[in-house]
């Protein structure tokens, strides 16, 4: 026997407080995305040195003259598989002893594969040397990197806290650059619209039902 609350169409699930959290996340993410897209029509091109000297307000940036050190990278993963890598970004030629102000968050398969290979090839000194030789082009990459600076709803406080505890010499106000990400006005407006639509239906559902109209006292029929 199927039990379903009254006035709920088939397949409808009552989310309760979770529904409000979903709406808040959609509205917050949509508003932030629209704001970011409108404020960042083009990526700001700036050298890593200048960015570190005075962090600009721009969230979509292209960092020029960057040096990435994969040997210092941290990573997240599930079941032994790497899902995301955080690579320190410094100005080209800068010593690895300096503080790290920028981490590049990347999921690119070639970099993930290189780090996984080096992690698996660490049983002996020769294996480490062989793995480093196979991926020499990715150990110290010198190139421009572009993406979105994580902030607001996209800033994962738990991940930041875990990274801060690692021996990575991170600056207190370090930023994470989402590799290759770009603002999406259409996607953000769609998210905002969905949040408004779901919020409207939740509020309509939460409205108290109107009391029944009193039955008029009609004279008895003969």
Phi, psi of 169 (to 5 degrees): 55, 45
pTM: 0.74
**Looking at the predicted structure, is the pLDDT value of residue 14 above 60?**
no
For helices 17-39 and 185-206, give the axis angle rounded to 10 degrees.
Answer: 150
Q: Characterize 62-84 residue by residue with b for buried, 16 or more Cβ atoms within 10 angstroms of its Cβ, and e for exposed.
A: bbbbbbbbbebbbbeeeeeebee
Q: At CA 88, angle to CA 82 and CA 89, rounded to 5?
A: 130
Q: At CA 161, angle to CA 160 and CA 163, rounded to 5?
A: 65
**Looking at the predicted structure, is the pLDDT value of residue 10 above 60?**
no
Using one digit for the tens of pLDDT, what is the confidence trace for 77-112? 887 789 999 999 999 999 888 999 999 999 999 999
Using one digit for the tens of pLDDT, what is the confidence trace for 125-166? 788 788 878 888 888 899 999 999 998 877 788 999 999 999
DSSP code of 84?
E
């Amino acid at each position: 026997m199927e039990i379903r609350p009254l006035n709920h169409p088939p397949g409808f699930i009552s989310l309760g407080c979770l529904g409000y959290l979903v709406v808040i996340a959609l509205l917050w993410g949509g508003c932030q995305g629209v704001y970011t897209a409108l404020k960042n029509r083009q990526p700001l091109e700036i050298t890593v040195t200048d960015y570190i000297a005075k962090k600009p307000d721009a969230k979509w940036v292209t960092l020029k003259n960057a040096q990435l050190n994969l040997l210092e990278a941290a990573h997240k993963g599930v079941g032994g598989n790497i899902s995301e890598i955080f690579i320190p970004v410094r100005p080209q030629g800068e010593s690895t002893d300096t503080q790290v102000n920028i981490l590049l968050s990347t999921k690119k398969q070639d970099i993930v594969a290189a780090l996984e290979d080096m992690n698996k090839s660490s049983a002996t000194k020769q294996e480490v040397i062989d793995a480093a030789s196979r991926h020499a082009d990715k150990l110290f990459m010198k190139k421009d990197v572009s993406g979105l600076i994580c902030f607001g709803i996209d800033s994962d406080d738990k991940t930041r806290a875990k990274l801060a505890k690692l021996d990575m010499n991170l600056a207190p106000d370090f930023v994470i650059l989402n590799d290759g990400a770009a603002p999406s006005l259409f996607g953000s407006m769609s998210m905002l619209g969905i949040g408004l639509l779901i919020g409207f239906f939740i509020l309509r559902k939460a409205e108290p039902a109107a009391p029944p109209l009193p039955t008029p006292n009609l004279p008895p029929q003969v």
